[in-house]
Amino acid sequence: MCGIVGYIGNKAAKDILLNGLKSLEYRGYDSAGIALLDEGRINVIKSQGKIASLESKINQLQNVTSTSSNKPEKEFNSILQERLVNAINKSNCGIGHTRWATHGKPSDINSHPHLNTAGNIALVHNGIIKNFYEIKRELEEDGVEFISETDTEVVVKFYSKFKDQGLSDIDAFRKVLQRLDGSYAFALINADSQKIILAKNQSPLVIGIGDNENFIASDSATVLEHTEKVIKLKDLQIAELSANDVKLFDLDGNTVKLEVHHMHQVSSVAEKGPYKHFLLKEIHEQPAVISKMLLDAYSVATEPIACFNNLDFKFSQIDKISFVACGSAYHAALVGKYLIELWAKIPVEVNIASEFCSFPVLHGKNNLVIGISQSGETADTIAAIKSAQSAGAKIMAITNKQDSAIFDLAKPNTYVTPAGIEVSVASTKAFTSQVLALYLLAIKAAEDKGLDLIDIKDELHKLPLVIDQVIERADDYHAPFLKYANYRDFLFLSRGVNYPIALEGALKLKELSYIHATGYPSGEMKHGPIAILDQNVPVLSIAIDGASELEHNVYKKTLSNAEEARARMSPSLVIACDSNRDVENIFDEIIRIPNISQFFSPIIATIPLQFLAYYIAEHLGKDVDQPRNLAKSVTVE
Ligand code: AGP
């Protein structure tokens, strides 16, 4: 889950590369670097830390005035310095990389681009090479030395070996790729050829075709800043780019026909506007997203759901639904299970995508596997979908990114949430839009089976008003939540349709504030986790009542479990509706939300938990939009 960029053409490359890396920073920001080709030499500038650190390093290099001196080593340094500054200012061919560390800790030496020993070949890589140790040992036996801990350095030195044998750029790369086992998006430059060589397998890589210039990036949005003519490389393809030409080959060296797509210009520029952080902005965008989804789905409850007319199947044909997803998307899928089984009476299983391929995949043609993914590029989810597809299941995708890998895999059975660009790494509006999509899917499945859900559709239409009201209470939540900013552990509990929201609340707090937070089904707490409870472990429960016997039983048991926690001296908080009086004698802190029945409360109950995580993370001075160790799109398994 790194981001790579490249440029070759008639303009200075440096700013194009740096701006491209900034739009890819969501893919990882442990370190960043660029390699620039100038006057037959490769110049690499790279550093640990975000792109801003790389930019300031480049600015420092440009501003250092060369001090003339008669000492040879100083003379040599000033020549190197001059070459570097010339390359920064003049080079029109280069590659760049922003890293999320997989092999080797975040450090200057492990950052990309990586060079061969002679320093005349540079490589950037997104992915994981599984058999790199084996290749590294072979090269070391040939006397090759390594300075980093990365798989990428092994690849560039392996490539260099074939170049030293006189092979062409493409043939040398073919030799390397035929040996590699793993995922990659590579971009490589040679000092002796004004070209960029690409190769792709399982990690995304896109070429943008310009006039006498060509662009490369890990996603189409980044190249669409410059051109609307896009080539999406396919697995096991190699490309050779010059300023005015693109050649495509397969691993056997056969030429492959170019497929140029004309993609609408999307603005990859998201602005914070009046908000201090993208996270806060995206929390506030949720009412608009929810309203748009409901309006696109149906205008009156008597109308059938219209937003799934593109599906090439009916749910009446489906025997079992399996969700595959990660993180927040997995939590959304858990909500979907309750709703589909409750209203459409179809058995549903929910799988953490990375676990899905860890056991035999049993599927038939009447099984539906649904991948949920905001980015549409999550490698674990892609692998799970491919595994289900090869087992004969029907595939569907719920994603926030049109034309993403998961979207392409599942076409035409896709639903694109209209949450818009979600810049903050912690998912908020994408999560709640996934949950709403699953409400709509449950209704669609029921309608396919001839079940009438007019009352449910009526109730759903109240959501935009209620979510607006709960967001209006943000300031009321601030002081109560900050009381809990210095605890080191936190437990989130609920049952039924809100158990996944307890998981989501724990994930938000964990990933934003780095506090150890865990979500549990309320009933499960007494089977072990209760042992950790004392005055140092706050417990937050989500306790929402409802008109049905099922909802009321879930609610009453949630309250009694909360009392068990309080009996262990844990500070106790509850998310409860305005009219709920039961909670007043049980909890230390009552976080009120507008009245709503339990089955329709997941989205509403999520909002205060988003503010809890945001306020505490901001209070603790954490990097709210780019928490440490994370990335917005996890494109490695
Ligand atoms: C959400 O807050 C997390 N950042 C993360 O768990 C995310 O939901 C997960 O990586 C799945 O991403 P996807 O929806 O793009 O597949």
The token duo for 615 is 């306020």
Question: What pLDDT is stored for residue 267 in this prediction?
Answer: 47
| CATH top class, domain 473-637 | alpha beta
CA of 582 to the centre of ligand 1 (A): 35
Q: Is the CB of 426 under 6 A from ligand 1?
A: yes
Q: How many C-beta atoms surround the C-beta of residue 362 within 10 A?
A: 12
Best mutation site among 283, 326, 350 for ligand 1 pocket (most ligand atoms within 8 Å of CB) = 326
Q: Is the CB of 353 under 6 A from ligand 1?
A: no
Beta strands in 234-337 (DSSP E): 237-242, 245-250, 261-262, 320-325
CA of 469 to the centre of ligand 1 (A): 26
3-state class percentages of the chain: helix first, strand second, coil last, to nearest 5: 40, 20, 35
Ligand 1 atom 5 nearest Cα: 327
Whether 14 sits among the annotated catalytic residues: the reply is no
Segments of the chain with pLDDT less than 70: 1, 65-74, 264-270
Instruction: For residue 510, give the nearest of 354, 591, 627 by alpha carbon.
Output: 627
**Ligand 1 atom nearest to CA at 325:** 16
Ligand 1 atom 6 nearest Cα: 327
Instruction: For residue 42, give the nearest of 87, 96, 104 by alpha carbon.
Output: 87
Alpha-carbon distance of 231 to 220, in angstroms, equals 9
Ligand 1 atom 4 nearest Cα: 426
**Ligand 1 atom nearest to CA at 630:** 4
Bond preceding residue 113 cis, omega within 30 of 0: yes
Q: Is the CB of 373 under 6 A from ligand 1?
A: yes
Query: Are 333 and 346 spatial neighbours (Cβ–Cβ below 8 Å)?
Result: no
* Residue length of the chain: 637
Strand pairing category for 320-325 and 367-373: parallel
Q: Is the CB of 399 under 6 A from ligand 1?
A: no
Beta strands in 280-390 (DSSP E): 320-325, 348-352, 367-373
**Ligand 1 atom nearest to CA at 381:** 16
Ligand 1 atom 10 nearest Cα: 327
Question: What pLDDT is stored for residue 263 in this prediction?
Answer: 72
CA of 43 to the centre of ligand 1 (A): 36
The one catalytic residue among 2, 93, 326, 577: 2
Q: Which amino acid is at 81?
A: Q
Q: Is the CB of 634 under 6 A from ligand 1?
A: yes
Whether 93 sits among the annotated catalytic residues: the reply is no
Which residue ranges make up each domain of the chain?
Answer: 3-49+91-262, 273-461, 473-637
Question: What pLDDT is stored for residue 404 in this prediction?
Answer: 92
For the chain, give me the number of helices (H) and strands (E)? 20, 24
Best mutation site among 219, 374, 417, 434 for ligand 1 pocket (most ligand atoms within 8 Å of CB) = 374
CA of 194 to the centre of ligand 1 (A): 39
Tens digit of pLDDT for each residue in 175-204?
999 999 988 999 999 998 899 999 999 788
Q: Is the CB of 328 under 6 A from ligand 1?
A: yes
Q: Does domain 273-461 have CATH number 3.40.50.10490?
A: yes
CA of 632 to the centre of ligand 1 (A): 7
Q: Is the CB of 375 under 6 A from ligand 1?
A: yes
Alpha-carbon distance of 218 to 27, in angstroms, equals 9
Strand pairing category for 193-201 and 237-242: antiparallel
Ligand 1 atom 16 nearest Cα: 373
Ligand 1 atom 9 nearest Cα: 327
**Ligand 1 atom nearest to CA at 406:** 16
Q: Is the CB of 35 under 6 A from ligand 1?
A: no
The token duo for 238 is 């190699």
Q: Is the CB of 542 under 6 A from ligand 1?
A: no
The one catalytic residue among 22, 46, 50, 632: 632
CA of 425 to the centre of ligand 1 (A): 8
CA of 363 to the centre of ligand 1 (A): 26
Question: What pLDDT is stored for residue 264 in this prediction?
Answer: 61
CA of 161 to the centre of ligand 1 (A): 39
CATH for 3-49+91-262, options being 3.20.20.80, 3.30.420.10, 3.40.50.300, 3.60.20.10? 3.60.20.10
Q: Answer yes or no: same fold for 273-461 and 473-637.
A: yes
Question: What pLDDT is stored for residue 268 in this prediction?
Answer: 45
Residues 6+ apart with CB under 8 A from 251: 174, 177, 178, 236, 238
CA of 328 to the centre of ligand 1 (A): 5
Tens digit of pLDDT for each residue in 374-404?
999 999 999 999 999 999 999 999 999 998 9
Alpha-carbon distance of 127 to 3, in angstroms, equals 10
Q: How many C-beta atoms surround the C-beta of residue 463 within 10 A?
A: 22
